[in-house]
């Protein structure tokens, strides 16, 4: 099927160093926060449709966000990890 990716084959060919690189990249810019993106889209649509005087907050559309612990990002450590994986 065109447009599909052989994930198992990709994982078989990926070296441990490449995997560590992807993990380091995910630390800096996480992959897969679709629920947050959907909440933001819902917020934008509601803001557009309700007018400028409505008191709408993005978190109204993402109530689960308040229960997710906030992760502290150490960008310098993540960049050092990427450099070490890349051998620089």
Q: Give domain status of residue 1, yes or no.
A: no
Q: Give domain status of residue 44, yes or no.
A: yes
Domain containing 27: what range? 7-86
C-alpha angle 72-47-28 in degrees, rounded to nearest 5: 20
- Burial (CB < 10 A; 0-12, 13-18, 19+), residue 51, is exposed
pLDDT along the chain (88 residues), means of 10: 78 87 76 75 87 80 72 69 73
Q: Give domain status of residue 48, yes or no.
A: yes
pTM over cut 0.85? no
Q: Give domain status of residue 24, yes or no.
A: yes
Q: Give domain status of residue 2, yes or no.
A: no
Q: Please state the domain count of the chain.
A: 1
Q: Give domain status of residue 57, yes or no.
A: yes
Q: Give domain status of residue 82, yes or no.
A: yes
């Amino acid at each position: 099927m065109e447009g599909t990716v052989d994930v198992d084959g990709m994982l078989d060919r990926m070296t441990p160093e490449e995997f560590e690189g992807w993990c380091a990249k995910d630390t800096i810019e996480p992959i897969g926060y679709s629920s947050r993106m959907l909440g933001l889209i819902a917020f934008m649509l509601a803001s557009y449709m309700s007018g400028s005087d409505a008191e709408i907050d993005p978190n109204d559309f993402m109530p689960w966000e308040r229960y997710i612990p906030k992760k502290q990002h150490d960008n310098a450590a993540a960049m050092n990890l990427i450099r070490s994986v890349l051998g620089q």
